Amino acid sequence: MTGRIGSIDRRWFERVASARLPGAEQLLPPLSSAADHGRLWLGTAGVIAALGGPAARRAARRGTGALALASLTTNVLAKYAVRRHRPGLDTVPVVRRLAKDPWTSSFPSGHSASAAAFAVGVALEAPRYGVLVAPLAAAVAFSRVYVGVHYPGDVLAGCALGAAAAAVTCYWWPPRPSPARLRRTRVT
C-alpha cells in the first residue's frame, strides 16, 4: 500500500513495534503461533462442543465452517491478489519475533481473518460463547502486529474478511434462534 494510508499503517506498526506491554512478550508470540493452521480455533471448538449443549455444538460447527471459508478466501485468493511485503523487523525486539517467519503475502492477515471468522461464527449461534471467544480472537489479531509479521491495515482487513465469511455462512445455514427468542403466542 502506498500513499497516505500506507504511511499511517507504517506509523502505527512502528508504535506497536516499539511498545512495551508488561507480560505481552511472554503471552502474545506463543498465542500467535498457537493459531497457526487454525489449531487454536479447532481446539476451542472442541472445548465448546464438549462442554456445552446443542447451541454450543452448533456454534462450534458454524465457527469452524466460517474459519474454513475465511481461510480459503484469504490464503487462496486475497493474498495472491495483493502480494504486499511483510514489515521490516528492525524495530521489533528479538524476544517477540516468531521462530519461523511467514512466507506468504502480508495482506490480509490470515490469522486475523480466521480469528474473526471463528468468533463471529460462534457468536451468531451462541452469543454467550461468542463473548468468551472474542477477547481471544482480538488478542490473536493484535499479536500479529506485535510480533512484527503484519501491518495494522492487514489485520483490520483480515478481521473484516473473517466477519464477512461468518456472515456468509448464514446464507447457506441460517442461525437457529435461541429458546429465549422463541416465544409462544397465546391463542384465545
Per-residue pLDDT tens for 5-43? 677 878 877 777 777 778 877 888 888 888 889 999 999
Return the pLDDT at 94: 60
Q: How many residues does this entry show for the chain? A: 188
Q: Which residues in the chain land under pLDDT 70?
A: 1-2, 5, 84, 86-100, 102-106, 177-188
Question: pTM of this prediction?
Answer: 0.84
**Which CATH architecture fits 24-174?**
Up-down Bundle (1.20)
| Beta-carbon contacts of residue 74 (< 8 Å; ≥ 6 apart) | 108, 109, 110, 113, 114, 158, 161, 162
Q: Which of 3, 15, 29 is nearest to 149 (CA)?
A: 29
Q: How many of the other CB atoms lie within 10 Å of CB of 96?
A: 17
* Cα angle for residues 24, 30, 35 (degrees, 5° grid): 120
